[in-house]
């Protein structure tokens, strides 16, 4: 993992000569590690950086952010936009909403929009979003996550110590989703590409298509085989699409 002076950013391979940067936002409970291998499947002219939110990995002792609007404003302040290359965003699940609101927060402070916004496994932001109740016991919370999102990998569920390690982060990110209240603003002008899983009950194709209402630019919806975490099986196909869109 490449070191960074900014605790909010992780880069697994620095590419100083890259013309484009893909800034990634993980799913609920996820961390920069979720994108650890992406640079290997993308062309050398794309550098991958990942937003590392507080409460996980090397930032695990910092308090989780549980207010979406406040987080987007904070990100706009701490992620100084580089002027040496084009920046696009990729957000997965809850990370899709974070990426979207970050793009709008940057615009509010006078910074440029991303060159492209990629979102995955999340219905359009103006549609109703529901999250498991924070009042649920840990056992009921885990069961509800599994019912809705195929939530927690079995290898973690079956190991009490691992589950105890990850559960506070997942609960924090679910609280972040629960805080989300969409507010009308002018549409983004950048292209949006939205990915969904054909077997994901939480994001039907019609809800994924709603992302098209959030841009005045080009929009494309791509349904991939699999459930909420379709990226596990289709990562190469998704990254092929990402690379082709960034090349245009």
192-197/86-92 β-pairing: unpaired
Domain covering 9-129+181-246 assigned CATH 3.30.450.20 in the classification? no
Q: What is the pLDDT of residue 82?
A: 56
Please tell me the distance from the alpha carbon of residue 176 to that of residue 28, in angstroms, as a whole number.
Answer: 9
Q: Of 214, 211, 217, whose CA–CA distance to 245 is shortest? A: 217
Please tell me the distance from the alpha carbon of residue 230 to that of residue 120, in angstroms, as a whole number.
Answer: 9
Please tell me the distance from the alpha carbon of residue 163 to that of residue 23, in angstroms, as a whole number.
Answer: 28
| Residue 88 is a catalytic residue | no
Please tell me the distance from the alpha carbon of residue 235 to that of residue 243, in angstroms, as a whole number.
Answer: 12
Q: What is the pLDDT of residue 145?
A: 72
Joined tokens for residue 93: 């699940």
Please tell me the distance from the alpha carbon of residue 4 to that of residue 165, in angstroms, as a whole number.
Answer: 25
Joined tokens for residue 8: 């909010």
**Total Cβ atoms within 10 A of residue 71:** 21
Residues of the chain with pLDDT below 50 are none
Please answer whether residues 106 and 78 qualify as being in contact, where contact means their C-beta atoms are separated by less than 8 angstroms.
no
- For the entire predicted model, the pTM comes to 0.92
Which one of 4, 31, 88, 93 is the catalytic residue? 93
Q: What is the pLDDT of residue 4?
A: 64
- With a CB cutoff of 8 Å and minimum separation 6, the contacts of 49 are 9, 10, 11, 21, 22, 23, 24
Alpha-carbon Rg for the chain in angstroms = 17
pLDDT in tens, 110-153: 888 999 999 999 999 999 887 766 677 777 777 777 776 665 66
């Amino acid at each position: 993992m490449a070191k960074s002076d900014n605790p909010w950013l992780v880069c697994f391979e620095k590419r100083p000569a890259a013309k484009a940067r893909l800034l990634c936002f993980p799913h609920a409970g996820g961390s920069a590690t979720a994108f650890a291998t992406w640079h290997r499947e993308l062309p050398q002219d794309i550098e991958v950086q990942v937003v590392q939110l507080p409460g996980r990995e090397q930032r695990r002792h910092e308090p989780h952010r549980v207010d979406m609007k406040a987080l987007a404003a904070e990100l706009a302040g701490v992620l100084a936009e580089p002027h040496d290359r084009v920046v696009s965003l990729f957000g997965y699940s809850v990370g899709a909403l974070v990426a979207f609101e970050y793009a709008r927060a940057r615009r509010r402070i006078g910074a440029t929009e991303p060159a492209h916004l990629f979102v995955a496994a999340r219905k359009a932001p103006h549609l109703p979003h529901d999250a498991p109740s924070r009042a649920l016991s840990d056992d009921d919370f885990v069961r509800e996550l599994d019912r809705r999102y195929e939530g927690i990998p079995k290898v973690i569920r079956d190991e009490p110590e691992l589950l105890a390690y990850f559960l506070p982060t997942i609960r924090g990110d679910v609280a972040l989703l629960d805080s989300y209240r969409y507010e009308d603003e002018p549409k983004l002008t950048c292209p949006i590409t939205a990915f969904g899983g054909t077997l994901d009950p939480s994001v039907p194709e019609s809800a994924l298509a709603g992302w098209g209402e959030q841009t005045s630019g080009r929009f494309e919806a791509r349904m991939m085989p699999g459930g909420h975490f379709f990226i596990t099986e289709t990562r190469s196909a998704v990254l092929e699409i990402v690379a082709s869109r960034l090349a245009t």
